[in-house]
Amino acid sequence: MTRPHATDHALPIDAWRLAQAPWYRPSGDEADCFAAACAARLPILLKGPTGCGKTRLVEHMAWTLGRPLVTIACHEDMTAGDLIGRYLLDGNGTYWQDGPLTMAVRHGAICYLDEVVEARNDTTVAIHPLTDARRFLPIDKHNEVIAAHPDFLLVMSFNPHYQHRSKDLKTSTRQRFVALDMGWPDAQAEAQIVAHESGADAALARQLVELGARTRTRAAAALQEGASTRLLIYAATLIAGGMDARTACRVAVIQPLSDDADLCAALSAVVDSLFA
């Protein structure tokens, strides 16, 4: 769970407002669709490969809509109590502590569950009453039912390319959301993103985007998934900072993608051809 910004405001939820506008370059109509779903108070499911911009889209829309953003990185040990809250004990006895989801529901934030399939099924079932016309959150331990604030929005993301059948998103959960497919940007857009985020020049950004495209064509046969835009930005950042291009591509792209020596050698040959 990450908190992007903290200030001394009256409401605790204000500590979750972004400190500055995130830069986002739309690849299609995803921002318009997100805004329309938000206006209709419909929960949103983002689907796409790692590092394609799902989280940045949510941050951009939170800033654009003027909403606090509560981001929760899901994992297999996360319980419903981690989301909703629990009783804690101090010197004065027991007291109730709202979880991040409950806080977002009460105060009208965007609650973003990142890689939701990593969470246990009993945890995701707890959000179901928030994803239909009821829009409420029952807290059994606290004997309370919270009606969602009008500005509350639930957003989840997952990478369908990595999911095993035992870790797929249940149909009963999927069909409670509108879904946005997010793939890789086109080459021109991706080069603009790489250049903007890294400070690299346009020519270098185009070379790295070509490298990314070639790894993605290999993905079906040899790699689970090709290089993400994030990895290309990492490589560009290292090169802009003075690192040799081949070394930067090796440590930021090739080695994160695979441990197979033959595959790494093949990818190194691609890098050599682009940065001869």
109 and 222 in a single domain? The answer is no
Assigned domain for 169 exists:
yes
Q: Catalogue the long-range contacts made by 32-41 (C-beta closer than 8 Å, 24 or more residues apart).
A: 33/178, 33/180, 34/61, 34/180, 35/61, 35/64, 35/65, 37/178, 38/65, 38/153, 41/135, 41/150, 41/152, 41/153
Q: What's the N-to-C CA distance of the chain in angstroms?
A: 43
127 and 199 in a single domain? The answer is no
pLDDT in tens, the chain (276 residues): 545 554 444 567 888 999 999 999 998 999 999 999 999 999 999 999 888 999 999 999 999 999 999 999 998 888 888 999 998 988 888 988 899 999 999 999 999 999 888 888 778 888 999 999 899 999 988 889 999 999 999 999 988 876 544 567 788 888 999 999 998 899 999 999 999 999 999 999 999 999 999 999 865 567 878 999 999 999 999 999 999 999 999 999 999 999 999 999 999 999 999 998
Q: What is the pLDDT of residue 141?
A: 84
Of 249, 219, 222, the residue nearest 235 (C-alpha): 249
Look at residues 125, 152, 181 and tell me which one is the last residue of a structural domain: 181
Count CA within 13 A, CB hemisphere, residue 265.
Answer: 3
What's the domain count of the chain? 2
Q: Is the pTM of this model over 0.85?
A: yes
Q: Are 80 and 73 in contact (CB under 8 A)?
A: no
Assigned domain for 74 exists:
yes
34 and 131 in a single domain? The answer is yes
Q: Are 225 and 50 in contact (CB under 8 A)?
A: yes
d(CA 136, CA 134): 6
Assigned domain for 5 exists:
no
- Sort 236 into a burial class: Cβ within 10 Å, 0-12 / 13-18 / 19+: buried
38 and 144 in a single domain? The answer is yes
d(CA 258, CA 265): 10
d(CA 133, CA 138): 14
192 and 252 in a single domain? The answer is yes
Assigned domain for 3 exists:
no
d(CA 136, CA 128): 9
The runs of H, that is alpha helices, within the chain are 30-39, 54-65, 80-84, 100-107, 121-125, 171-174, 187-198, 202-219, 229-240, 245-249, 255-257, 261-274
d(CA 104, CA 253): 36
Look at residues 157, 181, 205 and tell me which one is the last residue of a structural domain: 181
Q: Are 94 and 65 in contact (CB under 8 A)?
A: no
Look at residues 136, 160, 181 and tell me which one is the last residue of a structural domain: 181
Q: Are 33 and 180 in contact (CB under 8 A)?
A: yes
Assigned domain for 31 exists:
yes
Range of the domain at 98: 12-181
197 and 128 in a single domain? The answer is no
Of 262, 211, 218, 217, the residue nearest 235 (C-alpha): 211
